[in-house]
Amino acid sequence: MNVLEINKLTKQFGDFIAVDNLSLSIQDGEIFGFLGANGAGKSTAINMITSLLPITRGQIEILGKNIVKHSKFAKANIGIVPQELAIYEDMTAYENVQFFAGLYGLRGSLLKSRAEEALAFVGLEDKHRSYSKNFSGGMKRRLNIACAIAHRPKLIIMDEPTVGIDPQSRSYILNSIKKLNEMGSTIIYTSHYMEEVEEICTRIAIIDHGKIIAQGTKQQLKAIITNQKNISIEVRSVEQLDVEKLRDIVGVNTVELADAVIRISSDAEINNLNKIIQQLMASGMEIRSVEADEPNLETVFLTLTGRSLRD
Amino acid sequence: MSDTLWLIRKTLITTFKNYKNLLLYIGMPIVGILLASLIHGGSGETTLRLGIVNHDEGQTVTEDTVQFIKQLDHVEASGIKESEANDLIVSGELDAVLIFQGGFAESLRSGKPESVRIVSIKGTQVTGYVSSYLNAYIDNLATIGRTVQGDAASFDVIYNGYRQADFELSKTMVEDRSVSQGMTKQTIGYLLIFMLFSAVNLSGIIIKEKENRTYFRLLASPISARTYVISNVIVNLFMMMIQIAVTLIVMIRMFDIDPGIPFWQMFLILLLFALVAVALSLVIVAFAGSSMAASALQNMLIMPTCLLAGCLFPIELMPASIQRFAEFLPQHWLLDTFSKLQLGSSLDSVLLNLGILLAFAAALSLIAIYKFGRNRDMRSYI
């Protein structure tokens, strides 16, 4: 059964189309990675899924029910972990979780036990009475998660839940996500950390300019670009580099610069390494090393969108 | 309903957790009563200090007239020399000086009384009281003089009878309510200011929730924006009710101020103003993009309008053009309603005022609803 079904979803702000005819389906039990650079339309799509933004065109169904017609049902089955913290600093950890869970109709002893379970789940069971304003960044992030899961939603949307925290808290959160998934929740996960997405997501969609340009498992996405090779050339300085001349070489698809490293994505079938090196030497570049990379999710994203995820 | 109560519970808990809020919502109106008492407390009964220059010494009739002045209520009279009069008045030691010229008694006997000179720099506000009593006393004696047609012996006989006659005096005290009514108006003026500030602060919770993003988390739950705003309005009105009740009870019971209007009438009329205050606060919140903007709008709108409407000092002190401008302000109509009721008007006669207040509340609410409906500023939640 599909937990989420999106069909030809469009969001328009005046003349600007933020989400363009987007369709996807997420099945029960998946951890679905949603990748897109800033401004790609990812947030707009998620805001429509959570009913925070009205839909211009198209349909969204949660557990088979249209979210416009069955707004309360849809909202009750979603838990949202926003990237920016959405907790009350003048309330204790327990009060925060209790309040947000109460918005979903939980009351009395059930509310108490669910709030306690959620806090225990994120490792804050000994911080019930502590005010969240006194928490570290990692603890606040964990409380942010607890507030989203106490009502046991079927679908949990997590946007950058690990941003800006220490490795220990990140590891704790990633393990929690896997555990939530094992407990039966379906998860939509967005992150700028490709290694996190590779580690936990069962399926991934890449969104660019409001459209899904690729979706599938990690293997399926990498298979899209197996006809690509990635070459990293370290030079002394890139100041004299003429990027356009490199792009003009037959087979070269993208050229990216990072400090003194030139990253070139090229058709695997065309042998153009000699021409690339000749071009660099003709430009007076001093080559220090040449490496061919294995394709990973970053490469897939870069190849498909022409830009890095952090752009 | 359960959702609304849940939201109300949370807002009340977080509001009362902060003692500064309690001070603002409850403490400040009480400070307002204290201020009103201090301002108006000294404007009640005062003693008139008189100096008397008697150039007609040795005359019983004149001595009796001086004695009559000295026995008047709220008058402190002492004999002085005429040469001292100006200095004592200018220095403020005396409010007025009465000068009896020589031959004053004789002029009464003849039925043609000479006038008593009154010297004062404080005008009729001070001299009116003494001169009216003095005129009445002199008129009586002059009537005797005119009756006996200058016969001194007959005058003395009738005068002695007049002095020794027994009168049955029936005395009715008319209470001076101007001071307590002034204090009430001043207190209500301050209360209106605090109500407006409190309302904006409480509605400002909506902006703060938007800023710390909990508002959008709330809207992602089955709670609707309408339920959320309604819960805020209920909390706001509840706080206003407490504020009004505490202020009126403290004013009447603790400070012993008689407003001249029944408690329940004052409470209901102020509750009507609470609707205006809450509606205005929602307009401010709907138009302000941030807490800072709301605070600026609050300061820009509340204090100047309260000043113009007469919340801080009587509107009669302002120029006529500004008094006309005040008619566009809800605070003016509330204060005007209280003034009319204090002067004895019936509730029916102030229905127009109450209708205008209700119209203000309705108009402001519609503006807020329209603006809230057009706010779609939630694109950046995720």
How many A-B residue pairs are in contact by the CB < 8 A criterion?
A: 82
Q: What integer pLDDT is reported at residue B381 of this predicted model?
A: 42
Nearest C-alpha neighbor of A190 from the set A176, A200, A180 = A200
Q: What integer pLDDT is reported at residue A309 of this predicted model?
A: 58
Tell which of A16, A50, A141, A207 to mutate to test the B interface (max B CBs under 10 Å): A50
3-state SS assignment for residue A10: strand
Predicted confidence band of residue B204 (pLDDT cuts 50, 70, 90): confident
Q: What integer pLDDT is reported at residue B275 of this predicted model?
A: 94
Cα Rg of chain B (Å, integer): 31
What are φ and ψ of residue B182, in 5° steps? -65, -45
Beta partners for A16?
A13
Taking residues B263-272, report their average pLDDT: 93
| Cβ neighbours of A56 in B, within 8 Å | none
Q: What integer pLDDT is reported at residue B245 of this predicted model?
A: 93
Is there a contact between B329 and B309 (Cβ–Cβ < 8 Å)? yes
Query: Can you read off the two tokens belonging to residue A117?
Result: 């379970």
Q: What integer pLDDT is reported at residue A38 of this predicted model?
A: 80
Is there a contact between B85 and B99 (Cβ–Cβ < 8 Å)? yes
Which residue has better confidence, B170 or B240?
A: B240
CA distance A51 to chain B (A): 7
Q: CB-based contact (8 Å) between A155 and chain B?
A: no
CB contact under 8 A, B212 and A80: no
Residue corresponding to tokens 């108009």? B363
The edge-to-edge listing of strands for the beta sheet with A287-293 is A252-258, A261-267, A228-235, A287-293
Among residues 17-76 of chain B, which lie with CB inside 8 Å of chain A?
17-18
Nearest C-alpha neighbor of B182 from the set B319, B349, B351, B338 = B338
Residue corresponding to tokens 């709108």? B301
Share of chain A above pLDDT 70, in %: 97
Instruction: Say which range, A296-305, B92-101, B299-308, has the weakest mean pLDDT.
Output: A296-305
**Which amino acid is it at A201?**
C
Extract long-range pairs of B246-253: CB within 8 Å, 24+ residues apart.
Answer: B246/B26, B246/B29, B246/B30, B247/B29, B247/B30, B247/B32, B247/B33, B247/B187, B247/B191, B250/B29, B250/B30, B250/B33, B251/B33, B251/B183, B251/B184, B251/B187
ipTM: 0.74
Q: CA-CA distances (angstroms) from residue B355 to A305, B236, B267? A: 63, 22, 16
| Cβ neighbours of A88 in B, within 8 Å | 14, 212, 214
3-state SS assignment for residue B382: coil
Instruction: Please write the tens of the pLDDT for every residue from B347-382.
Output: 888 999 999 999 999 999 999 888 877 765 554 444
Instruction: Please write the tens of the pLDDT for every residue from A142-199.
Output: 999 999 999 999 999 998 888 878 888 888 888 889 998 998 899 999 887 888 888 8
Query: Can you read off the two tokens belonging to residue A273?
Result: 């390494």
| Cβ neighbours of B212 in A, within 8 Å | 85-89
Nearest-angstrom CA–CA distance, A111 and B199 = 32
**In terms of CATH architecture, what is A227-294?**
2-Layer Sandwich (3.30)
Q: Containing H/E element for A200?
A: helix A194-200
What domains lie within chain B, and their CATH numbers? 2-41+177-374 (no CATH), 48-164 (3.40.1710.10)
Task: Tell me: pLDDT of B234 over 80.
Answer: yes
Residue B119 CB contacts under 8 Å (≥ 6 apart), including other chains? B85, B86, B89, B96, B97, B99
Report the Cα A247 to chain-centroid distance in Å. Answer: 30
Instruction: Please write the tens of the pLDDT for every residue from B81-117.
Output: 888 888 888 888 888 898 988 888 888 888 888 888 8
Nearest-angstrom CA–CA distance, A129 and A98 = 12
Is there a contact between A127 and A119 (Cβ–Cβ < 8 Å)? yes
Helices (H) and strands (E) in chain B — how many of each? 16, 4
Taking residues A238-267, report their average pLDDT: 87
Q: What angle do CA A176, A178, A183 make, to 5 degrees?
A: 90
Residues belonging to chain B: 382
Nearest C-alpha neighbor of B236 from the set B338, B361, B334, B378 = B361
Q: What integer pLDDT is reported at residue B382 of this predicted model?
A: 41
Tell which of B217, B219, B226, B380 to mutate to test the A interface (max A CBs under 10 Å): B217
Residue corresponding to tokens 């925060």? A96
| N-terminal to C-terminal alpha carbon distance within chain B | 29
Q: CA-CA distances (angstroms) from residue B363 to A39, A160, B282, B302? A: 40, 44, 12, 17
State in words which class domain A2-217 has: alpha beta
CB contact under 8 A, B213 and A78: no
Q: What integer pLDDT is reported at residue B169 of this predicted model?
A: 64
The edge-to-edge listing of strands for the beta sheet with A16-27 is A16-27, A2-13, A57-62, A65-66
| Cβ neighbours of B213 in A, within 8 Å | 82, 84-86
Q: What integer pLDDT is reported at residue B287 of this predicted model?
A: 86
Residues belonging to chain A: 311
Query: Can you read off the two tokens belonging to residue B308?
Result: 């113009």
Instruction: Please write the tens of the pLDDT for every residue from B158-196.
Output: 888 887 776 666 767 666 666 777 778 888 888 899 889
CB contact under 8 A, B213 and A82: yes
Looking at residue B260, what DSSP letter applies?
Answer: S
CB contact under 8 A, B222 and A72: yes
Q: What integer pLDDT is reported at residue B200 of this predicted model?
A: 87
Residue B378 CB contacts under 8 Å (≥ 6 apart), including other chains? A47, A52, A53, B216, B219
Task: Tell me: pLDDT of A273 over 50.
Answer: yes
3-state SS assignment for residue B375: coil
CA distance B206 to chain A (A): 13
Nearest-angstrom CA–CA distance, A144 and A138 = 10
Is there a contact between B368 and B294 (Cβ–Cβ < 8 Å)? no
Q: Where exactly are the structural domains of chain A?
A: 2-217, 227-294
Share of chain B above pLDDT 90, in %: 18
Q: CB-based contact (8 Å) between B222 and chain A?
A: yes
Q: CB-based contact (8 Å) between B219 and chain A?
A: yes
Q: Which pTM was predicted?
A: 0.71
Which among A54, A72, A80 has CB closest to B220? A80
Nearest-angstrom CA–CA distance, A24 and A2 = 10
Residue corresponding to tokens 């500030």? B197
Q: CB-based contact (8 Å) between B12 and chain A?
A: no
Cα Rg of chain A (Å, integer): 23
CB contact under 8 A, A103 and B3: yes
Instruction: Please write the tens of the pLDDT for every residue from A105-144.
Output: 889 899 999 999 999 988 888 888 899 889 888 889 899 9
The neighbour count for residue B292, using CB atoms within 10 Å, is 11
Task: Tell me: pLDDT of A310 over 60.
Answer: no
Which residue has better confidence, B42 or B76?
A: B76
Q: DSSP letter string over B153-165?
A: HHHHHHHHHHHH-
Q: What angle do CA A208, A213, A215 make, to 5 degrees?
A: 120
| Cβ neighbours of B217 in A, within 8 Å | 80, 82, 86, 100, 147
Instruction: Say which range, A167-181, A289-303, B67-81, B193-207, has the weakest mean pLDDT.
Output: A289-303
Nearest-angstrom CA–CA distance, B79 and B50 = 9
Q: Are the folds of A2-217 and A227-294 the same?
A: no
Which among A52, A85, A102 has CB closest to B378? A52
